[in-house]
Amino acid sequence: MILILEPNANPESTDYRMLTDQLDRLSGISYRVHREVGAEVTLTEIYLIGNTGALTVEQMQVLPCVEKVVRVSEAYRVLGRHKYGDDRPSSFEYNGVRFGQDTLNVFAGLCAVDSPESVDAMMRALKENGQTCTRMGAYKPRTNPYVFQGYGAKCLPYVFELAGKYGIRVIAMEVTHESHVDEIRAALKATGNPAGVMLQIGTRNTQNFELLKHVGRQQDFPVLIKRGFGITLDESLNAAEYLASEGNRKVVFCLRGMKTNMGDPQYFSSRSTLFESAVRRSNLTHWRGTVNSANLSFPAF
């Protein structure tokens, strides 16, 4: 069950303390508070965890500070599309770009940043075609340990400076370690914050739960999380729920190809088959969605 509080609910107010006191007395139920601080409005939601079946919507609706009550109907408590009373917004805006189920944002760019010249050429082409988003791979996990794995923090200054030069608003950038978030934040500050960054959780880290928790706790950057190519869709959706449960609800779920059981020699390299059913299944959530067309294959039968 989710309690949506009145806008700008003050944790120091008498009504707020009365609310938490009553929640503390609920037997067998714990709760987690999520606050989103905007420029003008602070939104607060409280997630009740435990056996809430005996609680009625009417009973919780009259509690102090409570504006609306949502009965959870899906396993994805925070990001799920719930059947009863769930009219929470399904979009967010970041650095002047809106992400929602009714918008289309193209992240053309470099899988791995290899030189300032390549970045300049790519971003110039994006500007000429009216694009404001891109992908830039500074940290690249590779299956083969001897393959180029990116320049890491060394390339961040010129990537961000060129983004500012060409009016790129949002850069999707994969992180594979907690320290990468701090490196990105420091490089942005050093270059005057010329662009925004959407942190990307790659398919190999979909079940790196400590990384998911760390990225979820920060709210400076939205997050794009890819579907794990070797796990079920439900497991991938729950991985994204880790981000939201830690506080960051600005999540974009990326569908990509996954491994199949096509073990015959002619299908040896077909590890990236996209299943259309996964796109329909993702409608169980109100997350923003995307498809990674660079990691797909369509074998002929």
Q: Can you give the residue range of the structural domain that contains 21?
A: 2-70
Total-model pTM = 0.72
Instruction: Give yes or no: residues 130 and 28 share one domain.
Output: no
Regarding whether 242 and 212 lie in a shared domain, the answer is: yes
Co-location of 176 and 223 in the same domain = yes
99 and 60, same structural domain? no
Q: Do 54 and 107 sit in the same domain of this protein?
A: no
pLDDT given at position 187: 97
Q: Are residues 143 and 41 in the same domain?
A: no
Q: β-strands 97-99, 92-94: how paired?
A: antiparallel
188 with 43, same domain: the answer is no
Q: Specify if 75 maps to a domain.
A: no
Q: Are residues 65 and 128 in the same domain?
A: no
| Number of domains present in the structure of the chain | 2
Domain assignment present for 21: yes
Are 33 and 105 in the same domain?
no
What's the CATH code of the domain at 176?
Answer: 3.20.20.70
Residues 103 and 60 in one domain: no
* Element housing 224 (H / E): strand 223-226
Q: How many CB atoms lie within 10 A of CB 170?
A: 24
Q: Give 80's DSSP letter.
A: B
Is residue 223 a part of any domain in this protein?
A: yes
* Assigned domain for 79 exists: no
Query: Which CATH number do you get for residue 40?
Result: 3.30.70
Tens digit of pLDDT at every position of the chain (301 positions): 889 899 999 999 999 999 999 999 999 899 988 887 776 788 898 989 888 888 888 999 999 999 988 877 556 666 665 555 556 667 889 999 999 878 889 999 999 999 999 999 999 999 999 999 999 999 988 888 888 888 999 999 999 999 999 999 999 999 999 999 999 999 999 999 999 999 999 888 988 999 999 999 998 999 999 877 777 777 878 888 888 888 888 888 887 655 555 444 444 444 555 544 444 444 555 555 555 555 444 333 3
Domain contains 86: no
- Integer-rounded Cα Rg, in Å, for the chain is 21
- Same domain? For 230 and 140 the reply is yes
CA of 204: how far to CAs of 171, 223, 275, in Å? 20, 15, 19
Domain finish residue from 37, 70, 103: 70
